[in-house]
Structure 1
Amino acid sequence: MKKIAFLQNSTSNKVLLLMGFIFLATILCNPLQAQNKSITVKGIVNSEIGPLDGVSIYLKNSKTGTVSKADGSFTFPSQLKAGDVLIFSYLGYDKQSVVITETSSYLDIFMKEAPIDVLSAVNTNKRYKSKRSKKN
Structure 2
Amino acid sequence: MRAERRYNATQLLDRLLQGYDRRLHPGFGGEPTKVDVNLNIRSMGPISEMDMTYQMDCYFRQSWEDRRLAFGSSTTTLPVNVNILHRIWKPDTHFFNGQKSRIHIVTSPNKLLRISNNGRILYSMRWAAIMIRLVVLK
Tell me the TM-score normalized by structure 2.
0.24
Structure with the greater alpha carbon radius of gyration: 1
Structure with the largest fraction of helix = 1
Tell me the TM-score normalized by structure 1.
0.24
